[in-house]
Chains A and B, each alone.
Chain A
Amino acid sequence: MRLLSFGKKSWKAASFMAAALVLMSALPLTACHGSKESLGFEIPEAFDETSKYEITFWAKNDTNKTQTKIYEKAITDFEKLYPNIDVNLRLYTDYGKIYNDVITNISTDTTPNVCITYPDHIATYLTGADTVVPLDFLMEDSRYGLSGSELKYDAPAKDEIIPEFLSEGIIGDHYYAIPYMRSTEACYVNKTFIEQLGYEMPEVLSWDFVWEVSEKATEKNEDGTFKLNGQKVLIPFIYKSTDNMMITLLRQEGAQYSDALGNNWLFEDVTKENLIEIASHAKTGAFSTFKISGYPANFLNAGQCIFAVDSTAGATWMGTNAPLCDIAKDKIMDFETAVYPIPQFVDREGLEISDNKASRLAPGEKKFAMMSQGPSICIFNKKDPQEVLASWLFAQYMLTNDVQIAYAETEGYVPVTSKAQESAEYQDYLGRAGEDNSTYYDVKIDATKLLLENQRYTFITSVFNGSTSLRDAAGTLIENATKSVRRKATVDEAYIEKLYEDTKSLYHLDQASAAGSGKAEFGELPSESKWLLRLLVTTWLFIGIYIFRTKILK
């Protein structure tokens, strides 16, 4: 009885304190993290087909009118299935512009409903409050999820999306994107020039081979023209995306670049060795970049380049018979184009094929590797769950075979579903390489096959808030080292140390942090938080003393 009495009395006080403590414990968590983490939305019982929904779709095309038409057809076909959903298309030709516009529109709550984007960008979008919809529950929903029972089209099941591609949409602990198309980088080689220089095409393109041939190609005649092409211009090796170049080099060398916590190892000795190697070839004129000189395809097609590294999604611009071309017809050289994976240090079995200085820095760790790239789709949160569901229905529609196969055929993309990849229609397409110089353009289909055959050697980098800046920094290191050496500066250790400092400062890399997952390193706690924790400990202490004192008094 006394015990009960004590219990009642104590329970009342303890209940108050416990409730207060729970609230106190919960409140800081809510206050500090709740507004940063997307709360998603509640999937409606059923999609409302009686109301009108207007959704905006921000998409990117590769300045390719066929892609534009495919988007438009997809929208028309979708709207026929769902007459109460109107999809407004806004086209971009640059992921960077989409990114900037989304960032701008987050602050005014005018984001699009559906958006083609990169996971790196989504990580930044997620720093806004409740912006991007987590897709976990949507994908699993038996009615409207992937291959759900209520869908009015034949969507792929979750296990029909290539797992590596699907996992690229995970940020923290949630899916925030579904893959749309995938590509990788390829090295488009002027085989005619290689043979003209007395070399045979290797089975696997090594860095040593590329550098050696490129250096040999820089030999000039007395009149200043190049011996190889008789022209005043020749840049033997041009790399389109220098951020990819540095990141892939590090991967191939077995060196770390970044992790999901936002840590980075970009500014290390391996990078330094890579930069010195690259700069040595830029100095002789054997190497340049898109940002410094122009599109690799233009130089390749004009007989002014031997090794042009660009996306497989740019294959229709490559080669004598390329369906897309920016240079005058009378400037196009007649040559044979070979499509290779980008240069490597080891072959697929791990046997060393390149022996330059940088590659020796990580013995035994080297990998046959190439970047997985290509657009994904995310959907943005809105107040009306029905509008979000309409967005999801459209996003998912973009994974149907009709859209996947049609879009993949526009460039050296591969569909992201096994359902599309294995379809008779797509296999027929792959088997008809070279039948014409448009739909069945051989360089484009060779580039596609390159990725299909090397899917397991592709990699992605960790996504966190700041990963975009880190990627930009990786490219800037190469761009600046290349520019500097062209401008007669000495690119040595001292130069690179300064370059590291300048680049870190420019991209605020010491301020980067991981997003979303709760696994991130957030750095030292703010003083207010420290005081809060101290206060909580003190409160528990007082509770303990109170209970102890009450017991003693009783």
Chain B
Amino acid sequence: MKKVIATVLTMGLALSMAACGSKTAEGTQDAATEAVSEVAEEVSEAAQEVAEDASDAAEEAVEEVVEEDSEGEEATEEAAGDVMTHEDYVAAELDSEVTVETYVQAKQGWWENEGVGNATFYTQAEDGAYFIYNMPCSEEEYEQLTPGTKIKVTGYKSEWSGEVEITDAKFEIEDGNFVAEALDVTDLLADDAIIDHQNEFVAFKGMTVEASKDADGNDVAFLYNYDGSGSQGDDLYFNVSANGTTYTFTVESYLCGQDSDVYKAVEGLNVGDTVDMEGFLYWYEGVNPHITSVSVQ
């Protein structure tokens, strides 16, 4: 009888381990013969963590694949609307569904929300540009969407603080390649017509770096965050002037992070420098270009 009880107890011991770490049965079987305290403190914890990690990772991977598949199907299905010209797009009402063919020019970082991957893209076709905000895409698709890649996008024309963009978009990759040349819009900065070039890849020539006030009231060439409240890694803001008017330009950290050349170049600017710049003509309550390159003359 004692043998029976001992056997049952041993089984119980092993089962208690397996109950919490069923995916690592091998480890728990061995551990069952060791001291109980050691088992409790180390093996079970490790087994549980490993099992959970493995299980979570597996589940996520499966979910991701399923979601990606279904997204892919939807993208193919929904991106098949009538393709508009940029002129049609500009004329379309806000909140209406739009379909455009365009080419990736740059992209912000990929991120995941509740298991759904997203990224924001700066895109441009020969006749105009489109900013595509938080477009669902898998990490693999994101890697494929390199500058020049042609995509057909269906989404909704939206406006956020003056920035006209395509939201809730689906896409499919098509054959074709186009990388836009930067259009010099320096002389258009003070002109209302500059909005016609919203989101395009543009250049600014011979502008002068103007002082910004940092958190201590000192004159500086750039700020981390718009008011200097941030630190390295945050968006960079700097003032530049042309024809007597000063504008605030941004290095968007999700587009060009702290290790990028442009980020470092802006950190190295001095008030009074004359600079040439390239970037995307983003809008936030007015012109607010996202700068991708800076060179000091």
List residues of chain A with CB under 8 Å of any chain B CB.
Answer: 13, 17, 20-21, 23-24, 26-28, 30-32, 34-35, 61, 63-65, 67-69, 90-91, 93, 129, 292-295, 298, 324, 326-328, 331, 469, 472, 483, 486-488, 506-508, 526, 528-529, 531-532, 535-536, 538-539, 542-543, 545-546, 549
Contacts and interface: CB of A to CB of B under 8 A. Distances in A.
B188 interface: no
Nearest to B4: A542
Contact of A35 (B11, B45, B168): B45
Contacts of B214: 65
Interface string B1-40: 1101100110111011111111000000000000010011
A536 B227 CA distance: 65
Contacts of A17: 5, 9
Give 9 closest A-B pairs by Cβ, nearest first: A31-B44, A528-B19, A294-B161, A65-B215, A28-B16, A31-B20, A65-B229, A35-B45, A30-B40
Contact size class for B? 35 or more
B230 A93 contact: yes
Nearest to B10: A20
Interface in B182-235: 214-216, 225-231, 234
B160 A294 contact: yes
Given A539-B8, A546-B1, A26 B19 contact: no
A221 B284 CA distance: 27
B16 A31 contact: yes
Contacts of A539: 5, 8-9, 12
Given A34-B40, A326-B285, 14 more contacts: A23-B13, A24-B9, A34-B44, A34-B45, A63-B225, A65-B229, A293-B161, A294-B161, A295-B161, A327-B286, A469-B114, A486-B95, A532-B12, A542-B1
B161 A546 contact: no
A67 B44 contact: no
A27 B234 contact: no
B97 interface: yes
B11 A535 contact: yes
A542 B114 contact: no
B95 A526 contact: no
Nearest to A127: B52
Among A91, A507, A545, residue most surrounded by chain B Cβ atoms (within 10 Å): A91
B168 A27 contact: no
B88 interface: no
A27 B13 contact: yes
Contacts of A542: 1, 4-5, 8
Contacts of B160: 292-294
Contacts of A488: 95
B116 interface: yes
Contact of B16 (A292, A326, A532, A549): A532
A129 B45 contact: yes
A487 B1 contact: no
B114 A528 contact: no
Main secondary structure of the interface of A (DSSP, over half): helix
Contact of A13 (B2, B49, B231): B2
Among B116, B159, B230, residue most surrounded by chain A Cβ atoms (within 10 Å): B230
Contact of B15 (A64, A67, A487, A535): A535
B292 interface: no
B227 A129 contact: no
Nearest to B12: A535
28 contacts: A27-B16, A27-B17, A28-B20, A30-B40, A30-B44, A31-B21, A34-B45, A63-B225, A63-B226, A63-B230, A68-B228, A69-B216, A91-B231, A93-B234, A129-B49, A294-B162, A328-B285, A469-B114, A483-B95, A528-B15, A532-B16, A535-B11, A536-B12, A542-B1, A542-B4, A545-B1, A546-B1, A549-B1
A451 to B, nearest CB: 23
A96 to B, nearest CB: 10
A31 B230 contact: no
Given A31-B16, A483-B168, A528-B22, A546 B114 contact: no
A508 B113 CA distance: 12
Given A487-B156, A526-B19, A298 B230 contact: no
A254 B162 CA distance: 39
Contact of B8 (A331, A486, A487, A535): A535
B161 to A, nearest CB: 4
A31 B95 CA distance: 54
Contacts of A327: 285-286
B225 A35 contact: no
B36 A63 contact: no
Given A20-B9, A63-B225, A487-B95, A532 B21 contact: no
B158 interface: yes
A244 B235 CA distance: 28
Nearest to A62: B229
A488 B157 CA distance: 13
Contacts of B177: none
Contacts of A91: 229-231, 234
Contacts of A90: 231
Nearest to B46: A35
